[in-house]
Amino acid sequence: MNLHDKHIVITGAASGLGLELLRQLQPGNRLSVIARPSAGLEALRRAFPNVDIYEADFADLGSVERAADALAKSAGTIDVLINNAAVQYTPRFTDSDFRYETIRREIDVNFASICTLVHLLLPSLMQSGAGMIVNINSGLALAPKAGSAIYCATKAALNIFSQSLSYQLEDTNVAVRQVFLPLVDTAMTNGRGGGKLPPDRVATTIITGLASDRTTIDVGRVKALRILLRIAPGLAAKIMKRG
C-alpha cells in the first residue's frame, strides 16, 4: 500500500515505536491516535496539533469502546489501523513480586483491546478503497521465553487471531498485516537485554514493509529466529527460553 494521503490510526503513539511511526507517517497523511492519558500524550498534543487524539485506557474495554465510537463518528473513513499499544510485566509466577491483577491487564491491553478495536473500526476500514489492519507483534509469539509468560501468550494469541482474521477478510477490501519485532529500545524494555534496535530504524523498516504489501514483516533478529525454528526448532526454543 502506498502510505500517502491516508487516514492512519495508531494506538499507543505517545512514546516509543508508536511515536516514531507517527513522526514518519504524519507528513502527507491524516493521523489519529488512541492512547492512554499521560505526560507523553500531552507533549504529543503540543508537538502535533493536527493529529486527532482519543484517550483510552487499553486495560478498560469500556474506555476503548468509547474512544473507538468517538473516532468512528468523527473521522469517517479509516485507511490503516496500526495496533501498537502493549504492556509487559516481567515477574514470573514463582517470584515474590508477581501481582495477580496484572494477568487481566496484560491480556486486555495486548489482546482483548485489539479485538475490540478491530470489531468497532472495521466498518470505517471497509469504507476505504483499500483498508489495512497492522498488528505489531513480537518474536515471542513464535517461541516464548521463561519470563513474561502472559505477555508471550498474548502475542501468540495475536498471531493466530491475525491469521484467522485475514481469512475472514480475504474477500473484502481490508488486508491484515503482522509485524514481528525483536527487542526495541523503548520504555517497556528498559533494563532488559542488549542489542536493542532504535525505534526510528524499526519504524522505517515497518513502513517500507507495509509499502511492499508483504503479509508478514520480520524485523531484525526475527528473520534468523524464523529460519532457526525451521531447521533446528529445539535449539531455537532453548535460545528463546533464556530470553
Domains and CATH numbers, the chain: 7-241 (3.40.50.720)
Which of these, 18, 221, 36, 240, lies nearest to 149 by C-alpha position?
A: 240
Which of these, 142, 130, 221, lies nearest to 184 by C-alpha position?
A: 221
Grid coordinates of 230 = 525451521
Per-residue pLDDT of the chain in tens (243 residues, 90 and over written 9):
889 999 999 999 999 999 999 999 999 999 999 999 899 999 999 999 999 999 999 999 999 999 999 999 998 899 999 999 999 999 999 999 999 999 999 999 999 999 999 999 999 999 999 999 999 999 999 999 999 999 999 999 999 999 999 999 999 999 999 999 999 987 666 555 667 899 999 999 999 999 997 899 999 999 999 999 999 999 999 999 987
| Angle, in degrees to the nearest 10, between helices 199-211 and 16-25 | 50
Distance of CA 37 to the CA centre of its chain: 18
- The model's pTM is 0.94
